[in-house]
Amino acid sequence: MWPILGQTTLDALRIVDWAIETHDLSSDVVAGGVSMGGDISVALAGVDPRVKRVAALVATPDWTRPGMTQVGRPEELIDQGSPSPHGEWLDGGLSRRVI
């Protein structure tokens, strides 16, 4: 799921660039979505300072999910793991993007 979120956020950056250029927009950008679309909107706002407002409906409240446990075994914490090479690439691409 995380590679999809990261790649779609990169795609959304290009869409914002295209919309501003094509339609000669100069106002603040507003992003929104439902479920994963809301997550993408939040991620977009985190990497693109042109996004001034976000409407995220039914989105993930905490991407890291600290303290998440196995279903039926509340004493067993789920290991958060390490980022994949693709995840590290996306993080680098998103964190370098400064508008």
Q: What is the pTM of this model?
A: 0.68
Domain count for the chain: 1
DSSP code of 99? -
Q: For residue 83, is it within any domain?
A: no
Return the structure tokens found at 94.
């998103």
Two tokens, residue 22: 């094509």
Q: CB count, 10 Å around CB of 39?
A: 22
Domain that holds residue 34: 2-75
pLDDT tens digits, one per residue of 32-45: 999 999 999 998 99
Question: By CB neighbour count within 10 A (0-12 exposed, 13-18 middle, 19+ buried), where does 66 fall?
Answer: exposed
Residue numbers in the chain where pLDDT is lower than 50 = none
80 within domain boundaries = no
Rounded CA gap, 34 and 57, in Å? 5
Domain-located, residue 22 = yes
Q: What is the pLDDT of residue 30?
A: 95
